[in-house]
Amino acid sequence: MRWIASTEKKKKKKAGAVATVKGTPSSKAEGRMLTEGSFTDYYVAFGQTEPPTIPVVDLFRGEDGSNGHLPPFPEGEIQEHPLESNTHRISSAELRQNERLASGLYHKLRHASEVHRQVRHHAQSFIKPGIKLVDMCERLEETNRKLVQEHGLDRGIGFPTGCSLNHVAAHYTPNCGDDTVLAYDDVMKVDFGTQIDGRIIDCAWTVAFNPKYDPLLEAVKEATYAGIKAAGIDVRLCDVGETVQEVMESYEVELDGKTYPVKSIRNLNGHSIGPYQIHAGKSVPIAKSDDVTKMEENEIFAIETFGSTGRGYIVEDLECSHYMKNFHAPHVPLRLPRAKKLLGHINKTFGTLAFCRRWLERDDGGSFTANGNKGKQEKYMGALKNLCDAGIVQAYPPLCDVKGCYTAQYEHTLILRPTCKEILSKGDDY
Distance (Å) of CA 402 to CA 113, 156, 169, 212, 333: 34, 34, 10, 20, 40
Q: Is 212 helix (H, G, I), strand (E, B) or coil?
A: helix
Closest C-alpha to 299, from 150, 418, 202, 177: 418
In the DSSP assignment, the letter for residue 294 is B
In this structure, how many other beta carbons lie within 10 angstroms of the beta carbon of residue 417? 22
Q: How far is CA 360 from CA 145, 317, 343, 374, in A?
A: 16, 22, 12, 11
Beta strands per DSSP E along 70-110: 77-79
Q: Which of 306, 317, 149, 320 is nearest to 219 (CA)?
A: 306
* Cβ density class 224-245: b for 16+ within 10 Å, e for less: bbbbbbbbbbebbbbbbbbbbb
The span from the CA of 305 to the CA of 245, in Å, is 9
| DSSP single-letter state for residue 244 | H
Reported as type and span, the H/E element at residue 258 is strand 258-261
- Catalytically active residues are 191, 202, 271, 279, 304, 411
